[in-house]
Structures are given as structure tokens and as C-alpha cells.
Amino acid sequence: MPKNAVREAPARARRVAWLLGPALVAGVAYLDPGNVASNMTAGARYGYLLVWVVVLGNAMAWLIQYLSAKLGVVTGRSLAETLGERMRSPTGRRAYWLQAELVAMATDVAEVIGGAVALWLLFGVPLLWGGVITGGVSVVLLFVQARRGARAFELVIIGLLATITLGFTYGVFLAPPDPAAVVGGLVPRFEGTDSVLLAASILGATIMPHAIYAHSALARDRFAPAAEAGSAAATLGHRRGIATARLLRATRWDVTVALVVAGTVNLAMLLLAATTLAGVPGTDSLEGAHAALGASLGPAVATLFAVGLLASGLASTAVGAYAGAELMDALLRVRVPLLTRRLVTMAPALIVLGLGVDPTLALVLSQVVLSFGIPFALIPLVSLTARADVLGVYRNRAVTTAAGVAAAVLLIGLNGMLLWLVFAGR
């Protein structure tokens, strides 16, 4: 190998490493406590039945997160900013913001409760105070983002992501699943209304609206200065067009790495529950799962599970708050002090904890609420990224748009099926 190539390799690796990050931060949304509750509950109740839902959700998430990042890279604007500019009616912007804010609150329910449960499992902290601590740490992480910049925020979140990965995958190596049963779980099917509810919950936890909003903003913050902003980016100069194309290639790698990590961890959660917790009474709750893991695989696995849950709550609530602040700024065009906003969005979670509602039930139901918020983020995203006046030559190809439409139809159809089954009493 030529000496120049040898010297250039480390520099090239550093450049590639610098480009990675936004998708890993957004990917934390796929590993929040709602995912833990949904996947563990699905595995404990139905074994390998819903493996296909996790795999399908992850595949759809790759496409959706790439489209969101592409919008931020090419235009230099987030999805919320783009929508805010195109919504002429102030009433329409406020209505759109309201539904997004309700979804953000449902997100906080899952993340704050998950952190509170983890603190209770690890240190015996009362749930309400655990929720307050989790929310407080999220404020500190947001101050890091505001004061130290996007890269420092990414590094902190990626560190928590590594902790999450270790916490939720370690047990699978001690209790490996049955390969034939895993393959059987790839066949799409349901077993009654409750399995549909859990499928919607898994998808709501996997493809989260705030991750769609956040990823475009994270990509904008990191890459917009390096790419040509605006819909005519690709026509304004050869060098700038190449820079944008390179950023998009790097973004595809970033999204791929993030979703491989997230998909592996999500699948590991369900497989661990299916292998270890199926048929064990009380294991469809986080507390019961923690106790059963300790009894069957030892205290180290149970402790790592709780540590992963805590890291999940801390990281995901910070990313969710980042997305909420972006939505408010872009749609309402007002800036609210960080602490005030966090108190407002955390209020439902703290009320749930104060009332003594079953934490795992609240987590699973919050993911269903998120599932119903997906179309409001996904449909505009697919539509905008297919438009030449928004992305120029970087607009979606026909097959990409078709895949995005198929994902939206599938998610909306699953939600409709869920409503029909629940209200029909079947």
C-alpha cells in the first residue's frame, strides 16, 4: 500500500467519525422506557409472536429517519421550521403545535416514569422523587447542548446509549433464544385485541414522532453550515453539490449504525423476555421483570437491566425535550425558558406518579398515544421530501416516496384496526 494512502487512512477515519452522531442521538428515542415496557410485555405475554413487529418497525424507522435527516442537511431547516413557514394560518400552526405538544407530553410520561422506576429499583427512591430527578437531569443535559454545542450533547447521549446497549443485551448471552422460535416470530400474525394493542405500542415506541422532528433539527445544527441551504442547493455550484451529496452518504451510514444498534437492543429485550419471563406471573411489569431476571439469571443481570432503564430514561427525556423546544420555536415562534417548558411537559408524568397509576401500564398506553401522533409527522415528511421545490435534485425518488407512503398507510391502518377491535369489544 502506498505511504500516502497509509497516512491518509487515519485522517479519513476521523472525518467519517465526525460525521456520525445525529442519528445516534435521535436513535435514543427508539430505546426509551416505553420500548422497554412494550418489548418486555410482548415477550412475557406472547413469547416470540411479535418479533416481526420489532423487525418491521426498525426497517420503517431507517427510511423515516433518513428522510428527516436529509431534509435538515439539504435545506438547513428542521421539519418543524419548514412546516411553520408553509402554514399561512396562525390557527393552523397553533393546532398542529397542540397535537405535537400532546404527543411530547405522552413521550415524557414514558421517559420520566421509566427513569423513576429505575431509580426505585436501584436505590429505593420514591417514584415521584425519581421522576423529579429524571426531569432535572434532562434539564442539565439540555444546558450542555445550549452552552457547549451539538457535538458535546451528542457525546453525552452516545455514552448513555452505550450503557443502554450493555444493560439490555447482556442477559441474552446468558439465556440465548431458540433460533427456530425466533424465525417463527417473523411471520406476521396476531392473537387477539391485546396483541394488536402491544403491536401498536411497539411501533409507537419505535417510530416516535419527536424523533422525526428532532433528527431534522440535529442534522441542521451539525451539517447545515457545511451544506448549501435552500431548495436550490444542488444547482448552485458543483463543489457545494458534491459536499451535500457526501453529507447525505455519511448520513445514510449514520442512520444505519443507529438503527442497527436500536433494532438489536429492541429485539434483545423481547427475546430476553420470551426466553426468561414467558409464563412467569407478574413479569409483564418492569418491576416484575427486574425481579424475575434476578431470580433466574442472577443479580448482575437484574442490576444491568435497571441501569439500562435509567440511562434510557435520562437520555430519551433530554432528546424529547430538545424536540419539544424546536416545535414550539418553529410553530408558535416564541421561546419559553427551558425550566418553565420542562415543568409543563413533565407535569402529566409527575401526576401519574403521584396518583399511583401502574407505571408499566402508563408506559405502554403512552406508546399507543405516540403511535397515533406518527401520521402528523410522517405524512408531511414524505410529502416535503418528495418535492423538487424543497429538496431540488435531492428530492425522493419515486420508489422512496412509495415506500414512505406504504409505511404511513401501514401505521395508520394498524391504529384503525386497534380502535375497531377495542371499541367492538373483540
> Has residue 13 got a pLDDT over 70?
no
> Has residue 9 got a pLDDT over 80?
no
Q: What is the pTM of this model?
A: 0.86
> Has residue 228 got a pLDDT over 70?
no
> Has residue 62 got a pLDDT over 90?
yes
Cβ burial, residue 279 (10 Å; 0-12/13-18/19+) = exposed
> Has residue 237 got a pLDDT over 70?
no
Ranges 305-309, 321-325, 355-359, 414-418: which has the least confidence: 414-418
pLDDT at res. 16: 55
Q: What is the pLDDT of residues 260-314, one digit of tens each?
A: 999 999 999 999 999 998 877 777 678 888 888 898 899 999 999 999 999 988 8
pLDDT at res. 367: 66
Distance (Å, whole) CA 49 – CA 347: 35
The total of other beta-carbon atoms located within 10 Å of residue 374's CB is: 25
> Has residue 230 got a pLDDT over 50?
no
Ranges 34-38, 59-63, 347-351: which has the least confidence: 34-38
pLDDT at res. 239: 35
* Greater model confidence, 387 or 227: 387
Which among 12-26, 381-395, 410-424 has the top mean pLDDT? Answer: 381-395
Cα angle, residue 258 at apex, residues 252 and 259 outer, rounded to 5°: 90
> Has residue 17 got a pLDDT over 70?
no
Region 134-161: what's the mean pLDDT? Answer: 83
pLDDT at res. 418: 66
User: Which domains are delineated in the chain?
Assistant: 15-424 (1.20.1740.10)
Contacts with 66 (C-beta within 8 Å, 6 or more apart), sequence order = 251, 252, 255
* Exposed e or buried b per residue across 232-254, where buried means at least 16 C-beta atoms within 10 angstroms of its C-beta: ebbeeeeebbebbeebbebbeeb
Q: What is the pLDDT of residues 330-345, one digit of tens each?
A: 888 777 776 777 777 8
Give the pLDDT band (50/70/90) at residue 55: very high
Cα angle, residue 264 at apex, residues 262 and 270 outer, rounded to 5°: 105
